[in-house]
């Protein structure tokens, strides 16, 4: 795989959220506002960069048998670093993301990149992969958040949109609207790609790259 390909694939073609349907919990939970979506995207990208780099660096040191616990510790470490920095310097974001900031640790996108990519590739390629995956995650969050914020609050990035601001549909910023907005986007992707883009035709553990990780991690 060429480096350019590694760097670009995650954004659209292999988008972790929109195409692989991973990391749906944060994608739905923090997408009430575009600014929160951007913050969550940045936080997750930072964790991905950290974990991918270190795991690629240590790929010959970490014994296969304990690799999952090692990855989890490393990922949790980087998540905590992000928590500390946001609490100290971007407190409004820290409040807005709330519990979903520590929950990056169980975001299956991060663990699956470690298992699928970083443990088999060079540090440089793993960094490219982290940028690409993190970027794709951010794009997906921005797409969902745009629908929800524009329809739900009549604003985009806090800027008022003339007609919609007076005629908003608050249900879109609440929980049901999250599921609906995500459904709309997947339906649009289906329409545009004539049903070919989606890697998973159904929800289930089969298509999830971390399902194997979970199962393997448990059985040893």
Partner 1 sequence: MDVKVLLVIMMSAILVNNYVLSQFLGVCPFLGVSKDRKNAVGMSVAVIFVMLLATVATWPIQHYLLDRYNLGYMQTIVFILIIATLVQLVEIVLKRYSPSLYSALGVYLPLMATNCAIFGVTITNIKGEMTFIESLVNALGAGTGFLLAMVVFSGIREHTENADPPPSFKGIPITLFSVAILSLAFFGFSGVIENMFG
Partner 2 sequence: MPILVLSVICLIMSGALALTNHFTWPVVEEAAAERAEAARAEMIPEADGFILLETDGLPKTVTEVYNTANGTGVIFMVTATGGYGGEFSLIIGFGPDGTIIGSNVLADKETKGFGDRVFAAVNEAEAKGERFDGVAGATVTSKAYRRAIEDALEAYETVKGALS
In whole angstroms, give the CA distance from residue 11 to residue 22: 14
Give the one entry of partner 1, partner 2, none that residue 142 binds, where binding means its C-beta sits below a cut-off of 5 to 8 angstroms depending on kind: none
Q: How many helices (H) and strands (E) does the chain have?
A: 10, 2
Give the one entry of partner 1, partner 2, none that residue 171 binds, where binding means its C-beta sits below a cut-off of 5 to 8 angstroms depending on kind: partner 1
Please answer whether residues 70 and 57 qualify as being in contact, where contact means their C-beta atoms are separated by less than 8 angstroms.
no
Residue 87 binds partner 2, judged by CB under 8 A: yes
Over the window 99 to 128, marking each residue x when it contacts partner 2 by CB under 8 A and - when it does not, the resulting string is ------------------------------
Residue 12 binds partner 1, judged by CB under 8 A: no
Residue 139 binds partner 1, judged by CB under 8 A: no
Closer residue to partner 2 in complex, CB, 96/147:
96
Residue 91 binds partner 2, judged by CB under 8 A: yes
Stretch that binds partner 2, among 58-66, 108-116, 140-148, 151-159 (CB under 8 A): 58-66
Give the one entry of partner 2, partner 1, none that residue 28 binds, where binding means its C-beta sits below a cut-off of 5 to 8 angstroms depending on kind: partner 1
Burial level of 76, CB count in 10 A (0-12/13-18/19+)?
middle
In whole angstroms, give the CA distance from residue 23 to residue 103: 10
Extract long-range pairs of 3-8: CB within 8 Å, 24+ residues apart.
3/124, 3/125, 3/128, 6/125, 6/128, 6/129, 6/132, 7/128, 7/131, 7/132, 8/132
The neighbouring-strand residues paired with 156 are 159
In whole angstroms, give the CA distance from residue 190 to residue 198: 7
For 156, the enclosing helix (H) or strand (E) is: strand 155-156
Closer residue to partner 2 in complex, CB, 90/211:
90
Please pick, from the candidates 1, 2, 4, 63, the single residue that binds partner 2 as defined by CB under 8 A.
63
Residue 63 binds partner 1, judged by CB under 8 A: no
Interface positions, 148-187, toward partner 1 (CB under 8 A):
171, 174-180, 182-184, 186-187
List phi, psi (to 5°) of 130: -65, -45
Q: Which residues of the shown chain bind partner 1 in the complex (CB under 8 A)?
A: 21-22, 24-26, 28-29, 68-69, 72-73, 76-77, 79-80, 83-84, 98-99, 102-103, 105-108, 111, 171, 174-180, 182-184, 186-188, 190-191, 195, 198, 200-205, 208, 210-211, 213-215, 217-219
């Amino acid at each position: 795989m060429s480096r350019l390909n590694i760097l670009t694939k995650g954004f659209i073609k292999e988008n972790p959220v929109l195409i692989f349907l991973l990391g749906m919990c944060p994608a739905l939970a923090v997408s009430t506002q575009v600014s929160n979506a951007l913050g969550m995207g940045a936080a997750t990208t930072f964790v991905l960069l950290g974990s991918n780099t270190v795991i690629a660096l240590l790929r010959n040191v970490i014994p296969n048998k304990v690799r999952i616990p090692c990855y989890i510790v490393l990922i949790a470490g980087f998540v905590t670093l992000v928590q500390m920095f946001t609490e100290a310097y971007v407190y409004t974001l820290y409040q807005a993301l709330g519990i979903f900031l520590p929950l990056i640790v169980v975001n299956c996108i991060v663990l699956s990149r470690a298992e699928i990519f970083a443990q088999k590739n060079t540090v440089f390629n793993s960094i490219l992969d982290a940028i690409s995956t993190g970027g794709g995650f951010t794009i997906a969050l921005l797409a969902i958040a745009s629908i929800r914020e524009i329809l739900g609050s009549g604003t985009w990035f806090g800027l008022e949109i003339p007609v919609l601001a007076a005629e908003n549909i608050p249900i879109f910023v609440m929980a049901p609207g999250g599921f609906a907005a995500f459904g709309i986007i997947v339906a649009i992707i289906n329409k545009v790609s004539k049903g070919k883009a989606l890697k998973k035709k159904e929800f289930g553990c089969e298509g999830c790259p971390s399902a194997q990780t979970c199962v393997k991690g448990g059985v040893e």
